[in-house]
């Protein structure tokens, strides 16, 4: 059983039922999510041992968050408690031309307020096969960025493969440093990155009109530790109908998957994290990169039909779709 370690904030997710708005609703659905933890949950459902490292307030809300992760098979032995507030995000689910809307309440969370050296990363990563981080963690605070860098360095030292989902979110970078100051050191220690063209441009300050394969090559040149640059193409026909295609540059070839036509989206959140989980599983378990991104893109497509932040599907579910069975016939 392969072992993964993930690191990042987990937020309480509060959402009115169905397509209702907060202004219409007197009760809310409660779940938890966060990019890296979503990836951990998905990998745990794939049968991997997934350990998520994070920090929660030491109260009944923080413990409920841990219990959510435990329920969904994640190893929570490295969760720390302290600070005062739980990160929260409020979600209204859109449809067709109406966008889903997210409001964050995370600026003063227990995670954001962590100290930089509370995690013993060498101890935590001992025996792990893979470490995964995303661009959200270094965007939250100086200390989370520092801790993320410490984790990557420890992983490099221990020979643990490192993957990154770069995903730059402009409105998160509020603590006084720019992503250009912070990200390069983190990316430099990563073996696999998931990054769209705009993320890659941000990392390398290149001209506007280079396309993905070009940028990927450039990234490998700039950050020689990187072995693979993956991404997915999403076409958003509307909030209820997207298409997804996976792609990867592995230093030799540019591989793409079939297009998955997600005609009836149930929950759009966390689909990128599901792609990351699929990619990690695929690269660890399949003999070639094409199979890996097929699995990743199929996993991503399936997530659109799973409620909540994380992709609670099995390897068999994903493989059936990756192998081309899009029929969705009842399993009895």
Interacting residue with a second copy among 2, 63, 227, 285 (CB under 8 A): 63
Among 105, 122, 142, 319, interactor with a second copy by CB under 8 A: 105
Q: What is the DSSP letter of 85?
A: B
Which of 89-97, 152-160, 180-188, 285-293 is the region at the interface with a second copy (rule: CB under 8 A)?
89-97
Name the residue nearer to a second copy (CB basis): 107 or 222.
107
Q: Which is nearer to a second copy, 12 or 160 (CB)?
A: 12
Q: Are the CB atoms for 229 and 249 separated by under 8 Å? A: yes
Q: Which is nearer to a second copy, 63 or 177 (CB)?
A: 63
Distance CA(141)–CA(144), nearest Å, equals 5
What residues have CB less than 8 Å from 66, skipping those under 6 apart? 56, 76, 79
Task: Give me the least distance between CB of 244 and a second copy, in Å please.
Answer: 10
CA distance 110 to 176: 19
Give me the phi and psi of 114, to 5 degrees please: -65, 155
- Burial category of 274 from C-beta neighbours within 10 Å (exposed 0-12, middle 13-18, buried 19 and up): buried
d(CA 201, CA 283): 25
Question: Footprint of a second copy on residues 152-211 (CB under 8 A)?
Answer: 169, 171
Does 126 participate in binding a second copy (rule CB under 8 A)?
no
Of 211 and 331, CB closest to a second copy: 331
For residue 130, give the 3-state DSSP assignment. strand
The count of chain residues that interact with a second copy, using the rule CB under 8 A, is 84
Cα 50–chain centre separation: 13
Q: Choose, by CB under 8 A, the member of 120, 126, 181, 266 that binds a second copy.
A: 266
Q: How far is the CB of 203 from a second copy (least distance, A)?
A: 21
Angstrom distance (rounded) from CA 136 to CA 169 = 7
Query: C-beta of 10: minimal distance to a second copy in Å?
Result: 14
C-beta atoms surrounding 24 within 10 Å:
10
Q: Write down the least CB distance from residue 53 to a second copy, Å.
A: 18
81 binds a second copy (CB under 8 A): no
Contact region with a second copy (CB under 8 A), list: 2-10, 27-35, 139-147, 289-297: 27-35
């Amino acid at each position: 059983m392969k072992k993964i370690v993930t690191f990042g904030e987990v937020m309480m997710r509060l959402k009115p039922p169905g397509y209702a708005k907060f202004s219409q609703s007197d009760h809310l659905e409660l779940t938890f999510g966060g990019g890296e933890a979503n990836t951990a949950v998905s990998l745990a459902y794939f049968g991997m041992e997934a350990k998520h490292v994070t920090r929660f307030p030491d109260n009944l809300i923080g413990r409920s968050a841990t219990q959510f992760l435990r329920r969904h098979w994640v190893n929570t032995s490295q969760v720390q408690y302290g600070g005062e507030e739980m990160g929260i995000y409020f979600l209204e689910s859109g449809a067709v031309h109406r966008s889903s809307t997210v409001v964050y309440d995370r600026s003063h969370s227990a995670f954001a307020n962590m100290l930089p050296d509370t995690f013993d990363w060498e101890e935590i990563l001992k025996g792990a096969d893979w470490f995964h981080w995303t661009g959200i963690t270094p965007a939250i605070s100086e200390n989370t960025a520092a801790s993320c860098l410490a984790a990557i360095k420890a992983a490099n030292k221990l020979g643990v493969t490192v993957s990154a989902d770069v995903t730059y979110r402009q409105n998160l970078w509020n603590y006084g440093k720019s992503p250009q100051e912070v990200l390069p050191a983190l990316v430099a220690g990563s073996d696999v990155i998931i990054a769209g063209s705009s993320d890659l441009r941000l990392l390398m300050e290149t001209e506007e009109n280079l396309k993905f394969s070009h940028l990927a090559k450039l990234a490998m040149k700039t950050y020689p530790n990187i072995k693979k640059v993956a991404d997915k193409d999403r076409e958003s026909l509307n909030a209820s109908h997207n298409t997804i295609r996976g792609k990867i540059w592995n230093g030799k070839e540019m591989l793409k998957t079939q297009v998955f036509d997600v005609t009836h989206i149930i929950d759009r959140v966390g689909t990128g994290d599901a792609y990351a989980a699929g990619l990690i599983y695929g690269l660890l378990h399949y003999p070639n990169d094409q199979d890996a991104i097929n699995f990743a893109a199929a996993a991503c497509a399936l997530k659109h039909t799973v409620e909540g932040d994380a992709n609670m599907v099995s390897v068999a579910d994903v493989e059936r779709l990756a192998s081309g069975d899009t029929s969705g016939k009842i399993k009895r």
